[in-house]
Amino acid sequence: MPREKGRNVIATNRKARHNYTILDVYEAGIVLVGTEVKSLRAGKASLVDAFATIDDGEVWLHALHIAEYGQGSWTNHAVRRKRKLLMHRREIDNLIGKIRDGNLTLVPLSMYFSDGRVKVELALARGKQAHDKRHDIAKRTAQREVEREVGRRVKGM
């Protein structure tokens, strides 16, 4: 059976970029059981409340929701279990240092199939305050108005 190529997105965390300032992005593999992979192929995952921690030099993903597989039997997986992430030791040590220094957190941005393997895009992020969010919204609105005005001028209106 030929392996699929490219990047097939399963789930994204759309609120992450709104609630956090993204400082750095990492790609990690994830340890799954068979029914989880089958459920992911059906697109039944949610990253809404998910977060990652580093415990004893290992990276763990918490609160990731992967729905039970419909045709699964007693072998079905727990829906919100703790899942281990696979990263290089050098990357993990780098993350430990950065998280210990500042008030940073690890937030999953997206989950996707990359050449048949499930990958998670993790972000090293800092939480935004309410005024930062308002500032970003105001900046985005102003940029949209500028683009509209440029478009009007180009069309000669």
Within 10 angstroms of residue 92's Cβ, the number of other Cβ atoms is 18
Does this model's pTM top 0.85?
Answer: no
Average pLDDT over residues 103-115: 89
Measured between alpha carbons, how far is 41 from 31 in angstroms, rounded to an integer? 15
CA 57 to chain centre: 21
Task: Quick: pLDDT tens for 22-61.
Answer: 899 999 999 988 888 888 888 888 888 888 889 888 999 9
> What is the pLDDT of the chain when averaged over all its residues?
85
Alpha helices (runs of H) in 28-88, residue ranges in sequence order: 34-41
Pick the residue with more confidence: 7 or 150? Answer: 150
The per-residue pLDDT for 2 is 56
The per-residue pLDDT for 50 is 87
